[in-house]
Amino acid sequence: MSHTYEAKAVEALVELGLMTAHDQLDGTAQKAAADNWSYSHFLGYLLDAELKGKYQRTVAMNTRFAHFPYRKQLEDFDFKAQPSIDPKIIDELATMRFLAEGRNVVLLGPPGVGKTHLAIALAVKAIEAGHRAYFINAMDMARKLAEATEGNHLPRLIKNLTKMRLLILDELGYLELSKPQASLLFQVISLRYEAALPIILTSNKAFGDWASVFAADHVMASAALDRLLHKSTIINIRGDSYRLKEKRLAGISTNINSHSIQPDQS
């Protein structure tokens, strides 16, 4: 047992898990004495440091949890290079209102036009706003769901996929899903829709081709679209791959012209 309240303060901060306040206690107490702070000023200062530390730890933890393939920021996106996107729509999404409204964001377009970049950048903003986000390639998720079915832990996985505020499903439609995979993916879309938990989805397929995304099942494809589009912001991106454009500008691929561009594997 401590004998002094000074020692008690140190002990209590550890016990309460207020480690930033613990680490800054001595320094702050010295500052408070030197500058003649009121007691409440001292306490407020210390707790503010704790809150800032807590926020940074949450953001760091949620960033690890998100499993981004790489990190991208909205600030790095060159809107001039991509005139088919209205920056005002992205600014609105960056307010994170879509999270509160349970609104989905659907990014459509050919490879290399910035769909994944924007999806990650919006998820980074969501994390900075204190939310949990999880990024997964659509085919990887379908495979995980199928494995979970075989391993008898599908309900647990599905529950986990409805825990995070934002799910980013990348590259839906690049690879064809089997019928069981399509139906598992549909379950996730359905459950998140019912819970008003938004999805950011990227796809190279126009809505008219979604039956092929859902294993040629027109009914399932339209039921999935129904849920995804009921409350959604759709961003149709057109144009050439940014990477190829950059290379062309740098004169690296002088032999690439708009007829010979091969879809890249982004």
Q: Which among 239, 237, 238, 243 is positioned nearest to 256, based on CA atoms?
A: 243
Angle ∠(189,191,192) on CA atoms, nearest 5:
65
For 260, the token pair is: 């010979």
**What region does 102 belong to: left with phi over 0, alpha with psi -120 to 50, or beta?**
left
Q: For residues 107-135, b (16+ Cβ closer than 10 Å) or e, as one string? A: bbbbbbbbbbbbbbbbbbbbbeeebbbbb
Of the pair 51, 249, the CB lying nearest ligand ADP is at 249
- Contacts (Cβ under 8 Å, ≥6 apart) of 88: none
String of contacts with ligand ADP for each residue 64-103, x by CB under 6 A: --------x---xxx--xx---------------------
- Contacts (Cβ under 8 Å, ≥6 apart) of 132: 62, 65, 66, 163, 164, 165, 166
Type of residue at 186 = F
Strand partners, 265: none
Element (H, E) at 113: none
Interacting partner of 113 out of Mg ion, ligand ADP, none (Cβ under 5 to 8 A depending on kind)? ligand ADP
Stretch that binds ligand ADP, among 34-42, 49-57, 109-117, 178-186 (CB under 6 A): 109-117
Cα pseudo-dihedral 256, 258, 259, 263, rounded to 10? 80
CB of 84 to ligand ADP, least distance (A): 10
Interacting partner of 77 out of ligand ADP, Mg ion, none (Cβ under 5 to 8 A depending on kind)? ligand ADP
CB of 103 to Mg ion, least distance (A): 21
Q: Which among 145, 130, 143 is positioned nearest to 187, based on CA atoms?
A: 145
Binders of ligand ADP in range 154-213 (CB under 6 A): 202
93, 105, 115, 210: residue in contact with ligand ADP (rule CB under 6 A): 115
CB of 202 to Mg ion, least distance (A): 6
Stretch that binds ligand ADP, among 3-11, 115-123, 148-156, 184-192 (CB under 6 A): 115-123
Q: Should residue 116 be labelled a site residue for ligand ADP when binding is judged by CB under 6 A?
A: yes
CB of 154 to ligand ADP, least distance (A): 29
CB of 172 to Mg ion, least distance (A): 11
Stretch that binds ligand ADP, among 40-48, 106-114, 189-197, 251-259 (CB under 6 A): 106-114
Q: Which residues here bind Mg ion, judged by CB under 5 A? A: 115-116, 266
Name the residues that contact ligand ADP, by CB under 6 A.
Answer: 72, 76-78, 81-82, 109, 111-117, 202, 242-243, 266
